[in-house]
Structure 1
């Protein structure tokens, strides 16, 4: 289920000037995502970026392939900057996430000197701005947002973003909760259980193992409805939603749950949804991760969010996992963090969203 054609410019020479301002012998080009050495180098850059920003690395080659593989390029483009020896020293990736919202990855080698690092950074920003204009124009927009992230302690990244015209707009708590084996009994059965007129169940599966499309559409509609008034919420088509979530290396269909209201004799009404993934670890047991949790306003106060969280905790315990992670908006007025803290989650590290709006000139 692949969305519309890529709206970006695939050839960097079409969006960068003839002289992008790099030193003699340096070059900027699109990477070959099928080349094992390229993927290995990008993974090393990403992991070094994580270590510098939060103290440890967690990403692997599968995370890089999401950005540079043929499948990923349906909605993305990438740029790398190479030194005279051909070594990749910087990497940028843009993702046409949804209408009006373009995600941007900006990574510069921590081992190059400050002057060269600044020049690499400038090229990535210039390329990203040009790609924002291209995707914004293709979507017929007046303004295209560039949305990028940074670790809260990464002062080098903060300085570059501020200098490039980005504003720090949100803070996010990356939370985790330990899981013990006994918590497999938190709910009667993570596959399906019921409490006070609410049924919590996995999305249905057909004989070939694929999920029921009606259930997937219900998950999408619930999440779209639940996040309508949330920070930076942008409408995402069903095709975009499914394509993006299936790209996650931790994606599993048996980690998608629906909560339905079953009051009276009427048809069950979808009221909440949780999309989970596998959080792999190179050093210990795997964990589970709450990628999305949404409850429709009409169903709030019925314990839907608590029930869905208890379900993924019980499922993780039954699978022998040791943790469940999630992200929460530190500035959210809903007070969701209070529920998470009450259920045992604590903040492990903090990230930030930085935005820049790019005006699309008609005819550009």
Structure 2
């Protein structure tokens, strides 16, 4: 893999660009926090997420990342590209320090990301190159940058939440189905069930053991809130709910919140109220731990009718984000 910096080598912004290294994590995270403080996104990378970048076997940061430092050694901009080897799209992530915006830094980093994504598709002998980035509805600068660079909105996602002070419905599973608390022994079976459940979902790609390990190894993961529906006759996983707790939501927004990171039901078990039962059970677990809110996000065009289900259970949208694509 070559690493041509191309336009970034001109150093016309007074920034020195190079690949991100493990030693940069503290400075990189400080940059992420400055960007988050200004843009106030619903979610941003945590330190553990940044460290996980260096454990990926698929997206070596030596070739798939850049970070720009000013003359004082302060990180002011970064960009990353990720792609599964058999994946049909590459994902772009990045940001610019608020005090360095409107200087052309973001567009130049984006140019590098696009060039690197094309190289990844060429290495995997795939065409065309499909690039994807996610943008919060309130991030005016990123929306303008995406539009000007030729990206187009292809999907809308909604963050939803409901107060746990409202009555939580009592939902019983059909005979032969039972909810169990997540355990390491169930992990691989749940991963395979997740890949099957999301095979018909827009934009989803299978999670390998490495990606699954990052999910379950994240400090926000709550095994005690996460559950699995087991078919007692066959022992198969019918559905699952993976939950997280982000203490920053409480610190920043004063909201004690349990978050459903993943919710899935295998196709053969759909239509039996499993998703609703899993969410109702999750709410009870959140309440028992002192949470005041339950939250999740959803593809608004999810073919399973998830958005309507969440509304029936009392969830209401409070933020929207968009998936932007560009085909090269």
> What corresponds to 1:292 in structure 2?
262
After TM superposition, the structure 1 = structure 2 runs for residues 1-364 of structure 1, keeping only pairs within 5 Å, are: 14-17=3-6, 20-23=9-12, 25-35=14-24, 37-51=26-40, 59=44, 63-68=46-51, 71-76=54-59, 77=61, 78-96=65-83, 99-100=86-87, 101-112=89-100, 114=102, 116=103, 118=104, 120-180=105-165, 186=170, 195-204=174-183, 211-212=184-185, 215-237=186-208, 239-246=209-216, 248-262=218-232, 266-280=233-247, 281-283=250-252, 284=254, 286-358=256-328
Cα distance in 2 for partners of 1:18, 1:158 equals 22
Structure 1 residue runs of 5 or longer lacking an equivalent are 1-8, 188-192, 205-210, 359-364
1:18/1:293 CA distance change after superposition, 3 Å: closer
Cα distance in 2 for partners of 1:70, 1:16 equals 20
TM-score (ref. length: structure 2): 0.85
Asked if the contact 1:271/1:296 (under 8 Å) is kept, the reply is: yes
TM-score (ref. length: structure 1): 0.77
1:36/1:357 CA distance change after superposition, 3 Å: closer
Structure 2 residue runs of 5 or longer lacking an equivalent are none
Q: How far does the alpha carbon of each residue in 1:4-59 deviate from its partner, in whole angstroms, 9 at most, with x for none?
A: xxxxx5x8xx22127644426322122344357504532333313532xx5xx764
CA RMSD of aligned residues (A): 2.9
How many angstroms does 1:186 deviate by? 5.0
> What corresponds to 1:361 in structure 2?
none
How many angstroms does 1:302 deviate by? 0.9
> What corresponds to 1:207 in structure 2?
none
1:220/1:340 CA distance change after superposition, 3 Å: same
Post-superposition, which runs of at least 4 consecutive aligned residues in structure 1 deviate over 6 A? Answer: none
- Where 2:23 maps in the other structure, the secondary structure is coil
- Where 2:83 maps in the other structure, the secondary structure is strand
Asked if the contact 2:27/2:74 (under 8 Å) is kept, the reply is: no
